[in-house]
Structures are given as C-alpha cells and as structure tokens.
Amino acid sequence: MKILEIEKLNMVFTTRGLNSAERVHVLRDIDLEIEQGEIMALVGESGCGKTTLGKIITGLLDPTSGTIKFNGNDIASRNKKQKREYRKSVQFIQQDSYAALNPVKKIYSSLYTPIKANNRKLKRAQIDALIVKYLEMVGLTPASLFLEKFPHQLSGGQRQRVLIARVLSLEPKLIVADEPISMIDVSLRLSILQLLIELNQKLGLTIVYITHDLSTVKYVVGEGRMAVMYLGEIVEYGKVKDVILQPVHPYTQALISSVSIPDPVIERNKPMIRLKSMEIPDIRHRCEGCGFTDRCLYADDACAAWKLENTYTEEHIVRCKNVQAIPPYAVLGEEKHE
Amino acid sequence: MGQDFIASFRNMTIDYVMKKTSLRAVNDLSLDIHRGGITAFVGESGSGKTTAVSALLQGISSPGKIVEGKVIYYGDEGEVDVAALKGEALRRYRWEQVSMVFQASQSTLNPLMTIYDQFYETAYYHGAVRSKEAFNKRLEELFDMVKLDVNRVRKAYPHQMSGGMKQRVMIAFALLLEPKLVILDEPTTALDVITQKYIFNQLMEINKRLNVTFLLLTHDIGIVAKAADYVAVMYAGSIMEYADVYTLFGKKLHPYTRGLINSTPSIIRSASEISPIPGMPPDIRNLPEGCPFGPRCPSCSERCRAEKPQLKEYAPGHWIACHLYGGEEA
Amino acid sequence: MKERFVGIFKAIGRFFVKLGNAIKRGVVCAARATGRFLANFWRSFRAFCGMIYSNKKAFAGAIILILFAFLAIFGRLIFPYDDKTSFADMYLKPSGEHWLGTDGMGRDLFDMIIHGTQDVMSIAIFTAFFTVGFGVLMGIISGYAGGWTDRIIGLISNVFMSLPQFPILLILSMFITIRDNFTLALILSVFSWPGLARSVRSQIMSLKERDFIQICSVMGVGRVHIIFTELLPNIMSFVAINFISSMKNAITASVGMMTLGIALFEPTNWGAIIVSARNSGAFAIPAARLCIIAPVVAIMLFQIGAILFSNGLDEAFNPRLRKN
C-alpha cells in the first residue's frame, strides 16, 4: 500500500527585493510514491531541493502546486482534525541536533512538551513513563541519566538519539530524516543509521532518508528504492541496486563515479565520467528544460527546451531526453556489468 | 635521510597543559614522511592527527606543547629542528617551505579584499614579488594548476565564488611560494561529491607535476583509498599502523585498521558486509593502561591490557603497533 | 464602500476576539509556567547564585546592588533623617556627627542621601518594570506575528523613538507636575520601551527561524505554548539584563526630570540635592562641593553596580559562552 503519493509537485519561492520580486523555481514536477514500511532514499548535492521536498512532506512548507496524498487521501482537502492527524503521523528529524533542541530546556521538558501537546488527557506520571520508554528504545539507557541534562551536555550522537526518541513519542507513520548523520562524529554515524533501520524493521515505520552521501544509501535502504535529485527535479528513480550499479542519467553516472570507494584497487581503476563543468549552476538561471544541459556531454540543442518527461522503464525512471544514447556505466567496470 | 624523506617526527609527545590537568594529545609519535608522496593521516576527531601535523608549522594551538621529542624538516641546507625556529627564520620557513590548506579554509579568506590583493600581499611580504609582470605570470600559472579562470577570479571577492572555487583558491594560495610540503587538513569537507572528486584529481596531478609532498589529514577512508600513497592510521594520539596504501587496504592487519575499513559504508558493499567498531570512541582524558584500542578490540589479550604495544616494522615499510604482530623478540 | 468598512470593522472585531483568547491562553500558560518556575525556584536560585559567585564582575555588581537595595529598605530606620533646617549649620565640614557634612540648609548630607535612596530606587524599579514589560510584549507580538502587526508596531515605536524627549518634556512641564514616583516612572518608560521592543523583536525573529521552533509546528505544539515555553525562556537572560540597565537609565533620567522641574521636588532625591546645591551657588563655595560630589558618586556607584551586574549576567547566561 502506498503511504504517500506526490504528483506534479512544484515549489516556487518568491523573494521580494526593494521593487522587484524574484521567483525561484526550486522543485519541478516532482512525482514520488512511497510504500508503507519502506525506507526510501532521497539523494542529491547541496541546493538540489531535497530538504525543501522533505519540509513539504512534513507540512513545514506548502507547495505552490501539485497534490500530496497520504494513505490515499488528498491532504489539501482535509478538515482541521484530519490535518492535525496528518501532522502527527509525519515527523521530521533535522540535520543539526544542537539547533533542533531548545538550548535552555532540559531533555525532559523537550520531550514532555510535544507528548503533552498531542495527548492532553495524559497525566504527568504517564508521560514520564513514556519518556523513559522512548529514550530507552533509542538506546539512551538508563534514561534517568539524560533527563536532567541540557542539550549542550550531550554528545552529537546522543542528541540525535534524543531527536529520534522525540519523534517516536508522537507515534508517527512516516519519518523524514534530513541528513541525520552529517553533523556527528564519523565513528558514531553507523550506529545512528543502524537505529533507523531497526525502527523500520521493528515498528514498520516508513522512512524517507535524505542524504548527500551515496555511500550510506545502500547500507540504509538495502533492497529499497532511491531518488536522485538535481536542481529541483528527480532525474533518476528506481531500486537502489539498479540506480547505483547501472545508473542511466548522465548526472547520476557522474555522481556515482565521484563517490570514493574504500578500496584503492577498485577506486583507482574505476572508469571516469567527464563533465563540461564541475560547478553546479545557480538554480535561478536554470533553463526550463533539462537542468543538466550545460554540464552534460551528451546534451544537444533541444535539451534546454525539452519538456520534462519520465522515460526508461516502469521500475527505473529516468528523466533524460537522450536516454537511449547514453552509454552504460558501471562502477565495477565491464566484467561485472553483464 | 633528506633524500627519501622530507620530514620526520621523532618520539614526539604533545600535551595540552591546563591549570589542573594535562591531556596527552599525541603520544610518542615517530614517523618519516616520504618526499614527493601523499601521506595520509587518518583517524577520528580527537585522534591527534591535526595536533601532530601542526607541529610541522609550529602551529599547535595553545595550550598544546611538545613535551618530548622533536620534528625535523629536511631542507636544502640540511636538517631543521622546526620547534627551535624563531623570528625571521620561522617566517621564511612557513609558507616558503611548508604551507597548509585549512579545514573549511574558505573562511580564512579576507572578505574585504580581492583574491589578487590577498595573493599579492602574501607574496610581497615574503619578498617574492620581483616585478608585477612576473607576479601576474605566477598567478596565471597557479590558477591554471587548479583549473580556475585567472581573469574571472583575480578581481573577485570571496563572496562572489562558490565553496569549491574558494577551496581551489586556497590550494593555489598554499602553493604560492613554491613550498616543498603542503598540509591538507580535511580539504574537501563540506563540498559536494563531484567537486570533491574534481579537487582531489587536481591535487594528485599537482603532486606528480611539481613533486611537492602532501600531508593529507582526513577521517574519510574513501578519500584515503583514492589519493594517498602512504597511510598512517591514528588512534588516541598514537600511530596504530603505517604502510603504503595498497598493503594497508590489502592486508588490513591491525584490528583498528580492519575495523575502520569494515565500518565504512560504500556503494559496492551491502549492509551485511559492514560492521561498526564496537564500544565508544576513546576519551583521551582517561585512556586505559596498555593498548588504547584494547577496550574495543576483538582480539584483546591479557598482554594488551597491561602493556602498550610499540610501533614496530613488521615487514619492510609496514609498521604496526599491535601485540599480534610483535614478532617473537618482544 | 460601506461593505468595506463593515468588513474592516468585523476584521478588527475578530482580531480582538482572537487577541482576547490568545491573552487568556497566555495567562493560563504563564500562570502554569510561573508555578513550575516557583517549584524549581530554590534550585535555580542556588545555581544562579553559584553562577554569579563564580563570575567576578557579576559578583561585584551584585554586592553593590544588594547594598543599595538594603539601604532603600532599611536605610531610613538605621539613619533617621531630620528635615529641620538651620542656617547656622550651613555647609559644615565632615565630622563624627555629620559624616558628609551638611548642605546649604544645615541638613545632614549623609542622612539625606540614605533617605533619598528609597525614592530613587522605587523610580528605577517602576520604570524598568514598565519599560521591560511593555517593550518585551510589543517585541514578541511584532516579531512573532510579522506582517501588518509588525509594521504597525514598528511605526508606533519609530514615532516614539523619534520624539524629541527634552523639548516635549519642557512643554509638558508648563502644564503638569508629576507628584508621585509611579507617574514619573510611566513618563520615563514612554520614551524607553521602543528600543527594547526593537531588539526583542529581532531576537524573536531569528529564534523563530531556528530548527527547534520550526519543528514545534510539525509536532503539533500550539502557538501560545511556543511563545511562552520555547521562545520566552530563550530571551529571559536578555530581559533580565535589560531590566538592570533600564533601572540605571531611569536614575539618570529622573534626575534630569527634576532639574527640568517636571517632577515634584523631593528634597532628599539625589537629583534634587544636586539641583538645590547648584541653585544656592555651591559651585563657588569650596566647602559646599561635597553637596554635589556625594550624590554624583552615589549615582555613579549604582551605575557601576548595574553595569557590572548586567555584563556579568550576560557572560554567565550566554549559551554560546556557557557551552564550553
């Protein structure tokens, strides 16, 4: 069953200058379906719009156009109570765990407030028990050690666990995790990812994992799916093993060939993908057609004006006009490609 | 010595001396740095890699101090004891012999000066400006090396450039006075993947072309695999293993090295091939007796708990600090 | 046209109903918060004292301020003031009987200053209370609501800020004389709230974009709750610092008001002592210099205490400094 369906979603930010208004089209015709209970990865470099999309999914931003269906119902046409339910069901884990916790409040009250706000009938003792339960669920044991601490007294990994506990305490169906490990120490990253995977498997939580780090995608998502974003659109979407091992879109190919592999023999012998330019262009000056046109070796004159369409196969969607002409690419070289 | 190597750490110990306590950031570190190669220091934050390498520039942040041992730089005029350099000699040594690209160094650019002015000022200060023309030519050469359009960049202010461009400007800046050794402290963190790869390709090319030695500090195993010739694995202030990159990754002898490599996610590994290192990162205020990695090591023995293993040459060019590979004589 | 006006009135009506509800909820929330605050008071108070004690500046400032508070409350009991004038004792030198000598009417200068402390302090506290209360309220409303509310409050505060204070007070002084400290404090705070409102507004505006506030709406935490339990604690130290520094400003300003003659002359008020000494030509009489110096020193001492304490508070509370 599909928990979330996004269709033709567009987002335009308007920034007002002194006497002019500038429109920035940050998300273009996003189509995305998320199955109940899956982990899906949303991958892209800075400025590709992945965080904006995450904020739209969690309801922090309203899209300019397009529909979002949650459990089959359009969220725009819901009444207040249903909206509240949707809000509660879709939660957000932010990137910077220090900024996401109120610096002057103890962990206990940071956790108490949202539980109380959503369950007004609960007594204090019941909430206390819940707080302890969720802190221990995310591996902060014994919970009593952490309740009276301020955010700055915890390590980055512990704070990230507190955030996850806070999100769990609202009993969500879908969690959007925005770069949950990018701000914490390398040695602690894997354990946070493990926790997310565990929550997915044990509680059946659906997770949208937003990241710039392709290396972790396969670890987190496993057999699931991933979407690659570039300058506001999803350029490639499909099963992780297809997208990573046989990328089709020239941007995905370039991205995957750039990820370093912790093995000097493979790393130094893998095929290179050349680009016309290394810099990501400014999204404000992006052409209406394919955003990758100026950097793509296979681009022709028609690409910049191409009407964005999804092509390739049903399971593996690629947004590229010349999809048939792109030579295949495989990280492990030719021998494993057959 | 000065032929093969460019610098040596000799039993260097660095303490951060505070009012009440003192922290041992680097513990009895000895290593020779190959001339012309890329030597990577890899370790988690707090492993002491930055502190150790800063000693090469007399740049240990206060209150850190070398309490034992020394750092030697093999210059054209013989051995230089870096810690003993003072005044004019130190000024000439820094940036003319050894320079550095700092972590997030984009913010070290002065926001109110054009790139040209910043380069000119430094070159002038070091007496490296013979004529305007010569300097302009040098600038062109430098920016060409990092693939930047000199006409676009020279008049630009830092805020007019992207992070990747600024980082390449900083690399050019480090190369300005033709140093023999450049320290790269996490040179590509906070940059996008494609930019990161591109910058490393340029760095490797520069390394070959100019025969300049690079010291690369990083926590990213993938980058080590991509760029390094030699690798020193650091943990809690000590070198655990040192070898050339193929041996290190191929053999994975030291338990910490093995753990580090096996815990690194990769696009070609499935989840079952990745396992985290158990336990908590070390607390350098409270290190165990014996091997610092002991508490997290799967093959920790009685001896490891009692006695700290020394860094020993296990095979030619391959040094390990572990009782498993100590040989019989110990 | 008519419909438009009706619409506007209705909108205004709705706004007030909403405002009323919000205030009601706010009061309930604030009451609860206060309850919790009191429950934790002793613990926090001890932690606070510890923090002040460990910061030299704050500690020195606190000692001075406590001294003044003590004098304001008990000073009149310990050093009773005799307002009997006797020209025979005019401008006596300091002695065992008169520690700071006497003024132009033969009154004991030391006793006068002690006696005046209470007035000076109460004006300062009232003014600080009004300034901070109104300024913070306006700042929060305008920073959090944004849009039109923000523009209107901004306009009002700009008008008040650009009013030339002295000429207006001069004109006012022709019509009214302020007889009590309460009114004096109100007049003083009319001119001082806009600055505070502006800085609170900018703090709220930046706080409201921070992750921990943004996430509140995803978690379904209500707006009133966000303001009182998430935002307010974050600006509390800032508010406390401003309270102290507006006390400091109020003292100087109130002296000015007395000199202008808007406020009623209370002979023992420090400002009044200076004014009467000046009027009786004390600048020319060497023996009378103490009548100027003593109240000035008292004002300066209080200001130093206030500055030290508020700087120390800033250091002690600033989370960025505290983090390490």
Domain with residue C97: its CATH number is 1.10.3720.10
Residue with tokens 């974003």: A229
Chain B residue numbers with beta carbons less than 8 Å from the beta carbon of A215 are 222, 264-267
Give the pLDDT band (50/70/90) at residue B330: very low
Token pair of A328, please? 């295949």
Q: Is A214 on the interface with B (CB under 8 A)?
A: yes
Rounded distance between C-alpha atoms, residue B123 and residue C295, angstroms: 61
Per-residue pLDDT at C260: 72
Using the beta-carbon criterion (under 8 Å), do C220 and A114 form an inter-chain contact?
Answer: yes
CB contact under 8 A, B270 and A222: yes
Which of B147, B192, B203 to substitute to test the interface with A, most A CBs within 10 Å? B192
A270 touches A331 (CB < 8 A): yes
Name the most confidently modeled range: A9-18, A212-221, C66-75: A212-221
B179: region left, alpha or beta (phi > 0 left; psi from -120 to 50 alpha) = beta
Helices within chain A (DSSP H only): 50-57, 80-89, 107-118, 124-137, 144-147, 156-168, 186-203, 214-221, 240-245, 250-258, 264-269
CB contact under 8 A, A215 and B261: no
In our burial notation (b when 16+ CB lie closer than 10 A, e otherwise), range A245-276 reads bbbbbbbbbbbbbbbbbbbbebbeebeebebe
Name residues whose C-beta falls within 8 Å of residue C118's C-beta, 6 or more positions apart in sequence: C72, C73, C75, C76
Whether A262 and B222 lie within 8 Å, measured CB to CB: yes
For residue A85, give how far its alpha carbon lies from the nearest alpha carbon of chain C (Å).
9
Residues C146, C151, C152, C153: what is their CA dihedral angle, to the nearest 10 degrees?
A: 70
pLDDT, chain A, mean: 87
Mean pLDDT across chain B, nearest whole number?
87
pLDDT of A163 reads: 94
Task: Tell me the per-residue pLDDT of A193-216, one tens digit each, with 9 for 90 and over.
Answer: 999 999 999 999 999 999 998 989
Cα–Cα distance for residue pair C323/A153, rounded to 1 Å: 8
Q: Which residue of B has its CA nearest to A257?
A: B194
Q: Say if A279 is an interface residue toward chain B (CB within 8 Å).
A: yes
Q: Which two tokens stand for residue C101?
A: 């000598």
C9 touches chain A (CB under 8 A): no
- What is the complex's ipTM, to 2 decimals? 0.86
Q: Which residue of C has its CA nearest to A154?
A: C323
Q: Which chains sit next to A, with 3 or more Cβ pairs under 8 A? A: B, C
Residue B156 has pLDDT above 60, yes or no: yes
- The pLDDT of residue C209: 87
Q: Are residues C42 and C71 in the same domain?
A: no
Which of the residues C44, C212, C230 would you substitute to probe the A interface, choosing the one with the greatest number of A C-beta atoms within 10 Å? C212
pLDDT at position A18 is: 63
Give the pLDDT of residue A93.
93
Residue with tokens 């988690």: B44
Selection from B287, B292, B329, B297 nearest residue B309 by Cα: B292
Look at residue B112 in the predicted model and tell me its pLDDT. 87
How many domains are there within chain C? 2
Q: What pTM was estimated for this model as a whole?
A: 0.82
**pLDDT confidence tier of residue B108, bands split at 50, 70 and 90:** confident
Alpha helices in C40-93 (DSSP H): 41-54, 56-78
> Which of the four pLDDT bands, split at 50, 70 and 90, describes residue B329?
very low
The domain of C11 spans 1-54
State yes or no: pLDDT of C320 exceeds 60: no
For the ranges A158-162, A207-211, A213-217, C291-295, which has the lowest average pLDDT? C291-295
Q: Does C35 touch chain A (CB under 8 A)?
A: no
Q: What is the mean pLDDT of residues C42-47?
A: 72
Question: What DSSP assignment string belongs to B149-198?
Answer: -HHHHTT--GGGS-HHHHHHHHHHHHHTT--SEEEEESTTTTS-HHHHHH
The phi and psi torsions of A272 (rounded to 5 degrees) equal -95, 150
Nearest to C219 among A103, A104, A117 (CB): A117
CA distance linking residue C153 with residue C38, whole number of Å:
33
Structure confidence at residue A234 (pLDDT): 92
Q: Beginning with the edge strand found earlier in the chain, give each strand of the sheet holding A73-74 in spatial order.
A: A21-35, A2-16, A65-70, A73-74
Q: Let me know how long chain C is.
A: 324
Interface contact flag, A99 C230, Cβ < 8 Å: no
Q: Say whether B197 and A268 touch across the interface (CB within 8 A).
A: no
pLDDT, one tens digit per residue, over A56-97 is 999 888 899 999 998 888 887 777 788 888 888 999 999 888
Is the separation of the CB atoms in A11 and A29 below 8 Å? no
Q: What is the SS3 assignment for A2?
A: strand
- The strand pairing partners of A174, in sequence order, are A90, A206
pLDDT tens digits for B252-291?
A: 999 999 999 999 998 888 888 888 888 888 888 888 888 8
Chain A: residue whose CA lies nearest to C233: A104
B abuts A (3+ Cβ pairs < 8 Å) = yes
Nearest by Cα to A164 from A130, A127, A139:
A139
Cβ contact A114–C211 (<8 Å): no
Helix (H, G, I), strand (E, B) or coil at A162: helix
Q: Which residue of A has its CA nearest to B245?
A: A264
pLDDT band per the 50, 70, 90 thresholds, residue C104: low
The mean pLDDT value for A264-268 works out to 90
Does residue A265 register a pLDDT over 60? yes
What would the two tokens of residue B139 be?
């600038």
- B11-21 pLDDT, tens digit each: 999 998 887 78
- Residues in A touching C220 (Cβ below 8 Å): 84, 87-88, 114, 117-118, 170
User: What integer pLDDT is reported at residue C323 of this predicted model?
Assistant: 41
Contacts of C323 in chain A (CB under 8 A): 152
Which of A102, A103, A117 is opposite residue C222, by nearest beta carbon?
A: A117
When CB atoms are compared, the residue of A87, A102, A152 closest to C218 is A87
The answer to whether the Cβ–Cβ distance between A194 and B276 falls below 8 Å is yes
Query: Using CB atoms, which residue from A212, A214, A280 is nearest to B267?
Result: A214
Q: What pLDDT, on a 0 to 100 scale, did the predictor assign at position C5?
A: 79
Q: For residue C249, give the nearest of C203, C171, C179, C196 by alpha carbon.
A: C196
Q: Which of A194, A217, A261 sits opposite B225 (nearest CB)?
A: A261
> From A170, which residue of chain C is nearest by alpha-carbon distance?
C219
Task: Decide if A262 touches B, using CB distance below 8 A.
Answer: yes
- Could you tell me if B221 and B264 are in contact, meaning their C-beta atoms sit under 8 angstroms apart? yes
CA pair distance B236, B291, nearest whole angstrom = 10
**A-to-B residue pairs, Cβ atoms closer than 8 angstroms:** 113
pLDDT in tens, C253-266: 887 777 777 776 67
Relative to beta strand B64-75, strand B5-17 is: antiparallel
For the domain spanning B5-97+179-194+209-290, the CATH number is: 3.40.50.300
Q: Would you state the pLDDT for residue B320?
A: 92
pLDDT at C166: 77
Whether C309 and C177 map to the same domain: the answer is yes
Over residues A279-305, the mean pLDDT reads: 85
C145's tokens: 């609501």
Same domain, C22 and C163: no
Are C273 and C307 part of one and the same domain?
yes
Q: What is the pLDDT of residues C162-171, one digit of tens each?
A: 888 778 877 8
State the nearest Cα–Cα gap between B126 and chain A, in angstroms: 33
Q: What is the mean pLDDT of residues A98-126?
A: 88
Q: Before B63, cis peptide (omega within 30)?
A: yes
Pairing between β-strand B22-34 and β-strand B38-42 as defined by DSSP bridges:
unpaired
- CA separation, residue C48 to residues B119, B293, C37, C54 (Å): 50, 41, 13, 10
Q: How far apart are CA C215 and CA A99, in angstroms?
A: 10
Nearest-CB residue to B274 (from A219, A268, A279): A219
- Closest approach of B110 to chain A, Cα-based (Å): 23
Interchain CB contact of A92 with C (< 8 Å) = yes
- CB A185 to CB B44 under 8 A? yes
Q: What is the pLDDT of residue A122?
A: 87
d(CA B330, CA B309): 10
Give the mean model confidence (pLDDT) for residues B157-173: 87
Which chains lie within 8 Å of chain C at 3 or more CB pairs, if any? A
Helix C289-317 / helix C56-78 crossing angle, nearest 10 deg? 140
Q: Say what the pLDDT of residue B228 is.
A: 93
CA distance C318 to C312: 10
Q: What SS3 state is found at A331? A: coil
Residue ranges of A 101-120 with Cβ closer than 8 A to chain C: 101-105, 109, 113-114, 117-118
Confidence of residue B243 (pLDDT cuts 50, 70, 90): very high
State the burial class of residue B262 (Cβ atoms within 10 Å of its Cβ: 0-12, 13-18, 19+). middle
Q: Flag the least confident range among A247-256, B99-108, B190-199, C225-234.
A: B99-108
pLDDT over threshold 60, residue B327: no
Compare CB distances from A190 to B250, B263, B267 and report the shortest one's residue: B263
With tokens 């057999």, the residue in question is A223
- Residue B240 vs residue C219, higher pLDDT: B240
pLDDT score, position A182: 85
- Mutant choice from A181, A260, A266, A274 vs B, greatest count of B C-beta within 10 A: A260
Residue A81 pairs in a beta bridge with: none
**Residue A249 DSSP SS3:** coil
A78 strand-pairing partners? none
Contact A187 B44 (CB under 8 A): yes
Residue ranges of A 240-299 with Cβ closer than 8 A to chain C: none
Those of residues 173-232 in A touching chain C at CB distance below 8 A are none
Residue B242: per-residue pLDDT: 94
Query: What residue spans define the domains of chain B?
Result: 5-97+179-194+209-290, 105-178
Identify the H or E element spanning C150: helix C147-162
Q: Is A305 on the interface with B (CB under 8 A)?
A: no
C-alpha dihedral over B138, B141, B145, B150, to 10 degrees? Answer: 100
Whether B266 sits inside 8 A of A187 (CB atoms) is no
